Structure 1
Amino acid sequence: MTENRIRADEAVVAGTAKEDDSSSHYGEVIRTIGERPEPFEGEEFWNSNIIRFDAETYVVSHRAILTLVVVSKCNAACRFCSNEITFTPAGPYLSWGPKLQRVKSFALTAGVRKVAYTGGEPTLSPQRLFDLAQSVNPGFDKSRLHTNGIGLGKSVQTPTGRSSLLDGLISVGLSGVSVSVAHFDPDLNAAIMRFGPSWKGMTDADHRYVTQRDSARFTPRLSCVMTPEGVSTVSDMFDYMKWGRELGYRRFIFRSCSEIPEAFRKPTDYSVYNAEGHIPIDSLVAGLDQVPGLEKTFVQRKSDSKVDCYRWGDIEFDVDESSEEPNPDRKIRRLNVMPNGVSYVCWIDPLAVLFEDERPVAAESMKREFGSLKILGQP
């Protein structure tokens, strides 16, 4: 066994789940490619690890993140929700077991060091989320939760006693939370995100409960999807950040509705809204670049994303415009475990599975999600 070779019971912290003790997966990094392109099996790659895992060869980006879409159910019905625009198969709440152990072993072998939890709404089942994070987080450098916040204060059982979900997650390595708020006016926010009748969104006290845990190890962030009826101008963005800063937030991200290729879109009202409500960021960025006192810290222009990052005093914020697309080559840029338990390497392609033995389940999920739609010529 080489120095870089990893067995599952070494890559995954021992003792998290007894039913996994018989599982054995082997992986090793066989080549690392840096910033200069290098040929591999007829293609050129850069910033990648080439690994062997369970006798198969994979090319994995150095920037890849493992994202667990833990559940499709949500207490909101945001019209911009990607779950209702493209492929997000239904399934039970994700739980730790052999399938997740395998993808975690793969991720750690490949050098993935970040894991994210999203949905649906992950905090609707607080104890399940805590139990999952307790098993998944060890081995990763960073972990982030994406939530509208409904369950952060709920009580969960931890190995040391009961605590709030948020405190419990931090105790098992959660390093950040991204709280989704579409507008700082609570009534407008509730209208945009379309919460159910029993909850209208986080209160100011709820937000302060989160921001009071800001530390070198844990970063809270506000996440705003920009919409025509919500935040849509530079002035709106500054009003939003001033409101959030008063509550203790110092990190913000503003996103456009994702652009999804027509072949991968569901024919729903959400898709129509997503297309009509998309706000390009170029004009916003041009306006931001004229604001005195802003420092631009990062710019990215790629075929599937535009990102501009700024610093404003003690505030840092990103402006993001994503246009999801199928993977252009075999390089794995993301690892997504969906609620059906299958691991995918693309957000929108329902057949882009990580492991070939999961393709039959993926095909059945595609048929349920898309009905008679044909994706890339598939029947």
Structure 2
Amino acid sequence: MRNQQKKAESDQELNVFRQQKWQLYMPVPHKPWFIEGKQYLLRPGLTFTPFANAVACNAHCAFCSEELLRDQHHQLTAKQLIRDYPSYFSRLQEVLAAFKGFPLGLSVSGLEPTADRKWLLHLLETIQQAEKTGVIFDEKVIYTNGSGLSTHPDLIQALLQNRFDRIELSRCHFDETVNQQIMRFNRNQPVWRNAAFEKLVSDLPQAVHLKLSCILTKTGIRDIISLEKYLQWVARLGVKEVVFREMSRLNGTYQLNTFSAWVEKNRVPIEPLLSEVVPILSRPRTGWQYAYSTFGYYYYNEHFRWNDQIEVIFETSSYEALQAANTSQVIQKLVFHSNGNLTGDWDPNAKLVMPADKSVLI
């Protein structure tokens, strides 16, 4: 329900997919849901994100979406760190209880969710308790730069015990110096070095479904040659799945600042790469095999097999499409913020679903 899958059967159909992308997503029937006596319309398959901002991020990625401002009224949860853990988790329990019986995807993201071991362990405990009372998570994913998993391996076991379906691990280049120019880890984080990163990947238990996420940039992976070198590198580490993401298309929806300017200057569109990988279905690039495409309400993916070793996904998305979907009455996404608000938006005070009585959590 989170996306729609279809395999192109002809070159013409594949071209239509690539040209129209997320516009081909067909909205699924919404489901009415009562929260605190008020009816909301929920998109089946929506995800719930407890925004991870216990501490400041230990990396400073040049493409960070949490630093993008839509307008002068847009507030950033990234700037409001969690100060009162007991109040925060008590409020989170209240919020989760409102969705008993409605299947949700759990998406742990925001800043760096593994940066504060105490917060993550408490979050996992809260999730477990909620599930025992009837809250349903049909998929659980954590998005991380790997820093805390490298320094606190017990977090990996905690994620497994909590039955997480996938760990999405960010890495933008196979050369640690180039990667550091993009992700800009605090230098006290061992994972900025390839030795620590490679050890983390190699030491992950087989039970972990690992997916590497590489943001395409002119500074880093920018063409098919560097992309295949990246795949060769991670194949040696035993990685079975990689997603190459184009930076989200802003289309003028965000104010000009250091981060939006960097995104536009360093953007690598996926269309030329797709044309090199599979220009036509009958003549793919050597080692590549088209599998299928997926359509979301603001993103489009193409899935491939590379050298019969790794599932490779190319993804592009549109913040303009995302914001357009958010203007409808249907809640597309649930985000729990550190001020206690549950919203249908990444802004902590926009599209309120369950507003907190007062801001006591920051």
The TM tier, using the shorter chain, reads 0.7 to 0.9
Contact map agreement 1:211 1:220 (CA 8 A) in 2: no
Higher strand share: 1
Instruction: Find the aligned partners of 2:167 and 2:295 in 1 and give their Cα distance.
Output: 26
Cα shift at 1:348: 5.8
Matched, 1:88 2:81: no
Matched, 1:237 2:255: no
Instruction: Find the aligned partners of 2:114 and 2:27 in 1 and give their Cα distance.
Output: 38
Instruction: Find the aligned partners of 2:343 and 2:240 in 1 and give their Cα distance.
Output: 33
Contact map agreement 1:49 1:111 (CA 8 A) in 2: no
Q: Deviations over 1:28-50 (max 9, x none)?
A: xxxxxxx9xxxxxxxx9634322
Contact map agreement 2:304 2:312 (CA 8 A) in 1: yes
Instruction: Find the aligned partners of 1:133 and 1:302 in 2 and give their Cα distance.
Output: 28
Matched, 1:65 2:47: yes
Structure with greater contact order relative to length (CA < 8 Å, sep ≥ 6): 2
2:351 is matched with 352
Q: How does 1:132-171 map to 2 (within 5 A)?
A: 132-137=123-128, 138=131, 139-155=136-152, 164-171=154-161
Contact map agreement 1:222 1:253 (CA 8 A) in 2: yes
2:101 is matched with 109
2:339 is matched with 340
Counterpart amino acid of residue 222 in structure 1: L
Q: TM (normalized to structure 1)?
A: 0.73
Percent identical residues: 22
Cα shift at 1:103: 2.9
Q: 2:309 aligns with which of 302, 305, 314?
A: 314
Higher helix share: 2
SS across alignment from 2:227: helix
Cα shift at 1:109: 3.4
Q: Deviations over 1:191-218 (max 9, x none)?
A: 1111223236153454343444354x53
Q: Which moved more, 1:115-124 or 1:286-295?
A: 286-295
1:294 is matched with 288
Matched, 1:192 2:189: no
In 2 relative to 1, CA 119–347 (structure 1 residues): closer, same or farther, beyond 3 Å?
closer
Instruction: Find the aligned partners of 1:170 and 1:99 in 2 and give their Cα distance.
Output: 25
2:13 is matched with none
In 2 relative to 1, CA 70–328 (structure 1 residues): closer, same or farther, beyond 3 Å?
same
Q: Deviations over 1:70-102 (max 9, x none)?
A: 106211111100111135323233855332123
- Unmatched segments (≥5 aa) in structure 2: 5-25, 70-74, 279-283
2:240 is matched with 250
How many residues align? The count is 310
Instruction: Find the aligned partners of 1:189 and 1:80 in 2 and give their Cα distance.
Output: 12
Q: CA RMSD in A?
A: 2.9
In 2 relative to 1, CA 189–165 (structure 1 residues): closer, same or farther, beyond 3 Å?
same
SS across alignment from 2:300: strand
Cα shift at 1:183: 0.5
1:330 is matched with 329
In 2 relative to 1, CA 181–339 (structure 1 residues): closer, same or farther, beyond 3 Å?
farther
